Structure 1
Amino acid sequence: MNWITGIQRAIDYVEDNLTGELDYEEIAKRACSSSFYFQRVFSILCGVTLGEYIRARRLTQAGTELTAGEARVVDTALKYGYDSPESFARAFTRFHGLTPSQAKLPGVKLKSFSRLHVKLILEGGHTMDYKIVKKEAFRVLEKVKWFPEDEELRQAEIPAFWNQARKEGVIPTLCRAASAEPAKKILGICYGTSRGEGEPRQFPYSIAVGYSGREPAPEGFRVNTIPAATWAVFPCRGAMPQAIQDTWRRIYAEFFPTADYAPTGGIDIEAYSDGDMSSPDYECEIWVAVERK
């Protein structure tokens, strides 16, 4: 199943169960994916996180029901998964700009977030550079941290991890140890596995360099082996983070729907070169583990 079809099936499942309990694992199964990987690709392709989509659709329908005048606020709050009328009122006000009680008044204006329909639209004429690389297992030296699987939290916490690493001297320590391919690049490694039962599940992410092992690992760092794999490697040029976000979107919206390869749902690597990351000429790479369809 390709990602376009899979995400649409997942969206249809969400829409059919907006008033019930929505488990992210169950949603991801409709796309034949793990919860972690599905949330990531959903955000890349749809421009909103899965949590944002569910929340916006529930609040849209709640607003429609309240304006009809018959639904009670407390009943609507429980119907759409809120623990209390107070938490529902806060979310409702942030989304619509007025309270649930005000929504019941005649002539009020509410916001509507429409249902998503995912389609592959061929606009033609665009080229996308890439190369397929078969690479044996290699070792990395890395600073690892576990993050919540939830995409909304991850989008805030991973940049903070990079900022913390710069302040604490993690990057210079890694650069001194860099001695293996991808040479002279700082890697952001996203491991497509998670741990934990129930919520919140977590996944490991690391800031790393290729490592030959000639020097002992510094305290607080981990030596890990990236398994042998086939990689689709995409060059990225432009100011960060917009350029790399645009490249990720094109990978899933343009490359994978028509390519002979599909992502394995495993490890993804962003390989950053030295240089001014705000420059329009800055260059980096995205490595995605793939398999033939």
Structure 2
Amino acid sequence: MEWIEALQKAITYMEDHLLEEINYEDVAKRVHTSSYEFHRAFSFVTGFTANTYIRNRRLSMAARELVETDAKITDLAMKYGYETPEGFTKAFTRFHGVAPKTAREEVGKLTLFNPLTITISVKGGKSMDYRIVQTEKKKFIALVREFSNGIINDEANHDVADFWGECNSNQMLSPIWMLREDGKRDLYGLCSPTTEGKDTFEYGIGIIVDEDTAEFDQADLEKKGFRIWDVNSGTYVVFDCVGENGDCIAKTWTNFYKEFLPQMGYEAAEETDYELYFDGTRPEVFCELWIPIKKK
């Protein structure tokens, strides 16, 4: 199934089951996509997560019912998925800018959040530089942590950035960084492929192990918290991320889903994707983004 059709089918499913206890994992199963890949694709294409979409649609519908009927606020809270009236009131106020009671009594301005329709507009005159690379098997050694799928494309979340900051401020990467010569101390941000049934992904920060890497005691490094990370051979599309911070990475992912995939005859593959941060050899880019792909 085309990914654009899968996203639209997912939206239809969410609309049909808005008043049921569902989340993005349930929706992903419905369109036969891993929860990780669905969450990532949906959030980068729409600008918000599927869970946020469900919550906003419920609150929009609840507001309409609030002002058009005499339904009790307690009943509306239960109907739209809140365990207590207090939880409903807090969410309603945050979304609409006015409390439910005030909205009913004063008919204040409310936020309308309509159902989504996924469309892709292809415009000329805009370049998107990329290259396709056939890779051999690669080996990395990295510090690895688990993160919730829910943080993907969440602007308010800085868990991965904080991981980088912790590694840099505490010099946690020194044992592997010194295995490379000056000018070849590129760092990689490794992101794991989907694991069936898990609501987390792994992210590692490390170096590549190749002919320019000094010999090392693997057992000793493992005692210090490092891990070998193997990546299979495959096809990758590579983009330059240009900007002052990690925002350019999110923008590149958005372009991948909105511009590259609809036009190029590829789909995302289940393999490690990674960012490549150069040791001073490419100062014009923030990093390179390597995304695994396969022909449809």
Normalized against structure 2, the TM-score is what?
0.88
User: Per the alignment, do residues 22 and 2 of structure 1 end up closer, same or farther by CA in structure 2, a change over 3 Å counting?
Assistant: same
Question: What fraction of aligned residue pairs are identical, expressed as a percent?
Answer: 35
- Cα distance per residue 1:111-139 (max 9 Å; x no partner): 11222111011111222222221212111
Q: Which residue is 1:224 aligned to?
A: 229
Contact 2:231 2:271 in 1 (8 A): no
CA positional deviation for 1:30: 4.1
Q: Quote the residue 1:245 is aligned against.
A: 250
Alpha-carbon distance in 2 for matches of 1:245, 1:193:
19
Alpha-carbon spacing, 1:2–1:178, altered in 2? closer, same or farther (3 Å): farther
SS class of match (1:246)? helix
CA separation in 2, counterparts of 1:226 and 1:69?
57
The corresponding residue for 1:268 is: 273
**2:263 partner SS:** coil
Q: Does the aligned pair in 1 maintain the 2:40–2:152 contact within 8 Å?
A: no
Match of 1:61 in 2: 61
Secondary structure at 2:275's aligned position in 1?
Answer: strand
User: Which of 262, 277, 285 in structure 2 is aligned with 1:282?
Assistant: 285
Amino acid corresponding to residue 89 of structure 1 in structure 2: T
Instruction: Name the structure 1 match of 2:151.
Output: 151
Confirm or deny: 8 A CA contact 1:177 1:211 kept in the other structure. Answer: no
From the superposition, tell whether residues 138 and 152 of structure 1 become closer, same or farther in structure 2 (CA, over 3 Å): closer
Partner of 2:253: helix, strand, or coil? Answer: helix
**Alignment-derived partner of residue 15 in structure 1:** 15
Tell me the secondary structure at the aligned position of residue 77 of structure 2.
helix
Partner of 2:201: 203
Distance 1:108 1:34 in 2: 41
**2:170 corresponds to which residue?**
168
- Distance in 2 (CA, whole Å) between partners of 1:246 and 1:72 is 43
Q: How many residues align?
A: 285
Shift of 1:59: 0.7
1:292 aligns with 2:295: yes
CA RMSD, 1 decimal: 2.3
Amino acid at match of 1:193: T
Which residue identity is paired with 2:203? Answer: Y
Q: Does 1:71 align with 2:71?
A: yes
2:187 match: 186
Between the aligned partners of 2:45 and 2:281, the Cα distance in structure 1 is 28
Deviation, 1:252, is 0.9
Return structure 1 stretches of 4+ with deviation > 6 angstroms. none
Match of 1:45 in 2: 45
Equivalent residues of 2:43, 2:152 under 8 A apart: no
Matching residue's letter, 2:206 = A
| Cα 1:156/1:276, change in 2 over 3 Å | farther
Unpaired stretches in structure 2, ≥5 consecutive residues:
none
Structure 1 window deviating more from structure 2 (66-75 vs 205-214): it is: 205-214
Q: Is the 8 Å Cα contact of residues 135 and 235 (structure 2) preserved in structure 1?
A: yes
Give me the whole-angstrom Cα distance separating, in 2, the residues matched to 1:152 and 1:107: 36
Distance 1:111 1:276 in 2: 49
Tell whether the 8 Å contact from 2:24 to 2:51 is kept in structure 1 after alignment. no
Q: 1:261–1:242: structure 2 CA closer, same or farther, 3 Å change rule?
A: same
